[in-house]
Structure 1
Amino acid sequence: MAHQIDLKTFTDDRGNLTVIEKVIPFDVKRIFYIYGVNEAVRGGHRHHLTRQAAISIRGKCSIYNCDGVNEQVFELDQPHSCLILETSDWHQMYNFSADAILMVLASEYFDPSDYIYEPYSK
């Protein structure tokens, strides 16, 4: 099941520095970011192999998640909060603020055959 982790952040009079080091539970092979989203819903899939870590580095968005048993909505609105999505986590991203930038770290390179678009049956 998806879960949030807090990224180590150093703050002083110069600003904030958030570090992603030794906390992501997989080797990162791909990084992408989503921005300029209107009222659209992004995602709508899970994976055979890929695990992901999502971080709202600017603005906010909501992520609906279902692992086939549990459903949960996560609010990402802090650049030090990271949502870990497992392969079984069918997810949708929505409610993006106008300034939102959602960065995603992925455990696998892009492969269209890794995607499962059908949501779990209820």
Structure 2
Amino acid sequence: MAQLYELKTFASENGNLTVFENVIPGTIQRVFYIYGAGQSPRAGHRHWRAWNALICINGSCRVYNHDGKTETTYFLNDPKQCLVLEPEDWHIMDEFSRDAILLVVSNQLYDKDDYIYEPYPNSRVLTVSE
């Protein structure tokens, strides 16, 4: 089940320092970011093994999540927010602001066999292409 956290942040007159630690299990294996996506939906999958942490470090985006039982929509618009997706969390990110930069941190390297593209049967969002 996806969970939204507020990352530990230290603010001073010299700026802010936000710390990402002890958020996902295992070792960080992969980091990537999405930008320039506009209104195009991204993802449309879940995983067998990978845990992912999503941080919109600039701008905003929406994340739809379905864990097989519950549908939830999150709006990420603060770099202190961190949405942790467990492997069973089928998700789509969309409604990116023009300045959005979505950072994704994963505990697994890319493996095409780890992706499950079929949504849960009772999911209201069926595919990325819709």
Q: TM tier, shorter chain? A: over 0.9
Structure 1 residues 53-110: Cα deviation after superposition (integer angstroms, max 9, x where no partner): 0000000000000001000001111001100000000000000000000000011000
The answer as to whether partners of 1:32 and 1:104 remain within 8 angstroms in 2 is: yes
Matched, 1:51 2:48: no
Q: How many angstroms apart in 2 are the aligned matches of 1:70 and 1:12?
A: 39
Identity of aligned residues (%): 50
The answer as to whether partners of 2:46 and 2:116 remain within 8 angstroms in 1 is: yes
4+ residue runs of structure 1 moved beyond 4 angstroms?
A: none
Partner of 1:42 in structure 2? 42
Question: 3-state DSSP class of the match of 2:113?
Answer: helix
Q: Trace 1:17-96 onto structure 2 (pairs within 5 A).
A: 17-96=17-96
Question: 3-state DSSP class of the match of 1:50?
Answer: coil
Partner of 1:115 in structure 2? 115
Greater Cα shift, 22-31 or 89-98: 22-31
TM-score between both structures, scaled by the size of structure 1: 0.97
Q: How many angstroms apart in 1 are the aligned matches of 2:25 and 2:114?
A: 19
Q: How many angstroms apart in 2 are the aligned matches of 1:44 and 1:5?
A: 22
Q: CA RMSD in A?
A: 0.9
Unaligned segments of structure 1, at least 5 residues: none
Task: After TM superposition, give the deviation of residue 24 of structure 1 in Å.
Answer: 3.1
Unaligned segments of structure 2, at least 5 residues: 123-130
The answer as to whether partners of 2:37 and 2:96 remain within 8 angstroms in 1 is: yes
Q: How many angstroms apart in 1 are the aligned matches of 2:53 and 2:30?
A: 11
